[in-house]
Chains A and B, each alone.
Chain A
Amino acid sequence: MPSQEAIVVSGKRISLVWIFPVLALLLAGWMLLHKELQKGPLITIHLENAEGITAGKTQIQVRSVPIGLVSDVELGKDYKGVVVKARIGKAYSQLLTEDSRLWIVKPRIGRGGISGLGTILSGSYIEFVPGESRVYHYEFQGMSAPPIQNDDGHSIVSLESESAFTLNVGDPVLFRGFEAGRILSTGFDPDHLRFTYTLSLQPQFTELITVNTRFWMTHAVDMSLDSKGISLQLASLDSLLNGGISFDILKPREESNPVPLDHRFRLYESYDAMIRQPYQFAAHYLLMFDNSVRGLNVGSPVEYRGLQIGSVEEISISYIEERVFRPAEAIPIPVLIRIDPGRFPYGDTQEGLQKLMDDIELRVQAGMRAKLSIGSLLTGGLYIDFNYFENADPVNAMQIVAEHPVIPTIGSSAGEIEDRVLSILKSIDQLPLGETFSDIQASLDQMQAAGESVRNLISGLEPAFSEPSTRKLVEAFTNAALSMNESARDWSKHAPVYLQLNESLLAVRNALIEIEALASTLNAKPNALVFPTSPTLDPEPPSPRK
């Protein structure tokens, strides 16, 4: 019995096996702690809908690296939108800055190309683009569409246009056909009634963005028919499908100044529109014409001694103030023109615009006036010509009508012009060209008849010549014929028909020479018919830099 008790005592020793529960406790504790430590923050994402999002399956990815997992998907407050909760890995918690952007990546076939093909099989995921901010945030608003990645070094350019073009986020921006960037965003500015576009350009194109850069809509197919024939231009296939924006520089680079950061470029509707009016800044002036402006169109040139300095913006009676508008009096026709500082050495900038306006004021005081002139005799198109007139009424300060300064005009009765043109045309019409031509025709007919009779005569004589017995006779006849020939020549030379023909032809020739002279005169100086051609009178304009 004592020996048995001894065994019992030894059995009460604490066995080494207790190390296992301790180990298990440590292991389980570490496992659970590790999991808990790795959990990271829980973020909330507000989305429009949760298409393709599954709790526990959908990942949050940054550059295709999973950083978290969606843990819960539920409807938002008032059942508007979707609230997605996601657990972000602990190591990535510093990515959760307040300006981060998130959106659902799913297969999209859009204007920016096909994206997210991989998600057809793998299912959607949420792309996360960390922001620059240092302020951490755990609640995000998901974007409905992926933004165009604006990588480092890309420059941002703002455009505006008065009418909306079919442009979408992601559409290409081309420089001479080379894709230089993409459209980042489109929008509308209600204050200025302008559509706005933001572009992202690759770094190597940054230097091209100056005051001389022009942007216009790329038209996929550009067909034009002109005197050279039909020309067809195709843009790149991408823009053929999508359209897009092209840009180029107007002048060599050394002349250009960088643009201010908030500069908004104008987006032209086409390349042609850009070439017609490539300047951004313009001084607007109002011209009051007493005579008819028929033949003057929007876009008609404004010239200074034949050099284009601007164009007609608008012709509208609405610029006249109501108190001036009296039914009893003849009212002048207001024409709004723009003068582009970019066409002058001032440069297409705000300062240039100011300089130009100061300059024009000085010039108007020195006697510069606007005048309607005939641009084309055939179409009757008019243009506005600036020149100096000594007999102009002196102007001290420019009048302002409807917020636009008014440049005084010099009357040139458009009716007079029309009359002169008509009379010229009439006199051309009255030239006896028809008679002359019928005379020529008659002479030619007579000549033909004479020739015919001579031939008949000769063919009648032929059998007599062939007989040998009449050889002598032939000789005699030959002589007779020779003499007859001579006489025929004489006859033809001095025939009245021939004289008359000659005279008529000379008359035609003289008439044509005169018309040609008239035409070339008109070509050189269209107002030659109205004004005396004596080369005098125009005073030299004072040089701007004296």
Chain B
Amino acid sequence: MQARDHFSTAKEAGLMLCPCCHSIAEKEHDICPVCGSNISIRSKSSIQKTLAWLITSIILYIPANILPVMTTQTLTYDSSNTIASGIIDLWAHGSYLIAAVIFFASLIVPIGKIVVLGYLCLCLVHRDSISLKTKTRAYEVTEALGKWSMIDVFVVLTLVSLVQLGHLASIHSNPGILAFTGVVVSTMMAARSYDVRMLWDASTETTFTPCHPKKPS
């Protein structure tokens, strides 16, 4: 909080960061003078993209959890599991750790990401009382955890490619995993599209409105 009293943003300083080569350019440029990438003060239509990806992930989340992700065929049984039933099966078989990991990575993380990103988008429009630091931390955690949701996809892919023992045991993937991959990818895309710097603008507006007039000068 106090830090923000002393530091202004790059936007306020008329500078922008090239997302590609991380060089700093004047805001008059459209193209990074170093690497030639398109640059702008803030990501263009960041909220729009984030929201689009978020909606995509929400839509895909439904089939991802309803449809089976994997069919296990062994001599003794033949079963199709959805993500939830797979977790229940693992738990019932005593693999509590794996069940917990998959539960966390496949169910909680995507939902958490969607909720957090949705909230962060909301923050840009509506003011709230949560501190900027917390929100930034939440965004960082979300982005960092996002890729771990792919663990379930990798589990399925690994099993499908490894367990092909003909009649003894074989595992096939089902459409559900495709939808789930879509969920993970679209939440990651949503997180990437979200320009966290917009939080600063928003918080600057909320917190530092009294100070604002002196900055543009």
Contact = CB atoms under 8 A, between A and B. Distances in A.
| A and B assemble together | yes
Instruction: Assign chain B's interface to a size class.
Output: 20 to 34
A21 B183 CA distance: 11
B55 interface: yes
Report the 8 A-B pairs with minimum CB-CB distance, sorted nearest first.
A21-B55, A24-B56, A121-B75, A24-B59, A17-B52, A31-B63, A20-B56, A28-B63
Interface stretch (B43-51, B142-150, B158-166, B203-211): B43-51
Contact of B44 (A11, A28, A31): A11
A24 B1 CA distance: 40
Contact of B66 (A17, A25, A32, A57): A32
A56 B63 contact: no
A28 B60 contact: yes
Contacts of B179: 27-28, 31
B182 A27 contact: yes
Contact of B77 (A15, A21, A35, A57): A57
Q: Helix, strand, loop or mixed for chain B's interface?
A: helix
B173 interface: no
B76 interface: yes
Interface of A: 7, 10-15, 17-18, 20-21, 23-25, 27-28, 31-32, 35, 54, 56-57, 59, 121-123
Contacts of A54: 77
A21 B175 CA distance: 18
A72 B175 CA distance: 24
A25 B56 CA distance: 7
B100 interface: no
B21 to A, nearest CB: 22
22 contacts: A12-B45, A13-B45, A17-B45, A17-B48, A17-B49, A18-B52, A20-B186, A21-B53, A21-B55, A23-B56, A24-B56, A24-B60, A27-B63, A27-B182, A31-B63, A32-B62, A32-B67, A35-B66, A35-B67, A59-B78, A121-B75, A123-B76
Contacts of B41: 7
Given A27-B179, A28-B62, A122 B45 contact: no
B78 A57 contact: yes
Residue in A21, A24, A31, A32 whose Cβ sees the most chain B Cβ within 10 Å: A24
Given A17-B49, A122-B75, 13 more contacts: A11-B44, A11-B48, A17-B52, A23-B56, A24-B182, A24-B186, A28-B62, A31-B63, A31-B179, A32-B62, A57-B78, A57-B79, A122-B78
A54 B76 CA distance: 12
Contacts of B63: 27-28, 31-32
B106 interface: no
Contacts of A123: 76-77
Contacts of A57: 77-79
B87 to A, nearest CB: 15
A104 to B, nearest CB: 16
A52 to B, nearest CB: 11
